[in-house]
Amino acid sequence: MTQSYFELFGLESIFNIELPTLESNFRKIQSESHPDRFVTASATEKLQSMQLATLANEAYQTLKNPANRAKYILELHGITAISETNTAMPTDFLMQQMEWREALEDAKGAKDIDALESLLREMRQEADALKTELGVLMDDKHDYTAATATTRKLIFIDKVCADINKALAQLED
Partner 1 sequence: MALLQISEPGMSAAPHQHKLAVGIDLGTTNSLVATVRSGLSSVLSDEHGHTLLPSVVHYNADSTVEVGFDAQKKQNQDPHNTIVSVKRFMGRGLKDIDVSQLPYKFTESSESIGMVQIETRAGIKSPVEVSAEILKALKTRAEQALGGELVGAVITVPAYFDDAQRQATKDAARLAGLNVLRLLNEPTAAAVAYGLDNASEGIYVIYDLGGGTFDISILKLSKGVFEVLATNGDSALGGDDFDQRIFCWILETSKLSPRNAYDTRFLLSKAREAKEWLTEHAEANISCMLSDGEFVNVTLTTNEFIALTATLVQKTLSPTRKAMRDADLNIEDIKGVVMVGGATRMPHIRKTVADYFKQAPLTNLDPDKVVALGAAIQANVLAGNKSDADLLLLDVIPLSLGLETFGGLAEKVIHRNSTLPIARAQEFTTYKDGQTVMSIHVVQGERELVSDCRSLARFELRGIPPMVAGAARIRVTFTVDADGLLSVSARETSSNVEANIAVKPSYGLSEDEITNMLKASFNSAEADKKARMLAEARVEAGAIIEAVTAALATDGNLISAEEKQAIEAEMQRLQSTANTEDADAIHHAVEALNHATEAFAAARMDASVKKALSGKELNTLDL
Choosing from 4, 16, 30, 62, the residue that interacts with partner 1 (CB under 8 A) is: 30
Q: Examine residue 13 and tell whether it contacts partner 1 (CB under 8 A).
A: no
With respect to partner 1, which residue has the nearer C-beta, 92 or 172? 172
How many chain residues interact with partner 1 (CB under 8 A)?
36
How many angstroms separate the Cα of 127 from the Cα of each of 2, 45, 78, 123, 149? Answer: 31, 42, 24, 6, 13
> Does the footprint of partner 1 cover residue 135 (CB under 8 A)?
no
Q: Whose Cβ is closer to partner 1: residue 138's or residue 160's?
A: 160
| 111 touches 171 (CB < 8 A) | yes
Q: Pick from 17, 22, 29, 59 the residue near partner 1 by CB under 8 A.
A: 29
Residue 173, helix vs strand vs coil: coil
Bridge partners of 7? none
Q: Which of 4, 48, 62, 97 touches partner 1 by CB under 8 A?
A: 48
Question: Is 2 a binder of partner 1 (CB under 8 A)?
Answer: no
Which residues does 153 contact at the CB level (< 8 Å), separation at least 6? 89, 93, 130
Q: d(Cα 66, Cα 157) in Å, to the nearest integer?
A: 11
The residue count for the chain: 173
Give, as ranges, the residues between 56 and 85 that touch partner 1 (CB under 8 A).
Answer: 57-58, 60-61
For partner 1, the binding residues (CB under 8 A) are 9-10, 25, 27-37, 39-45, 48-50, 52-54, 57-58, 60-61, 165, 168-169, 172-173
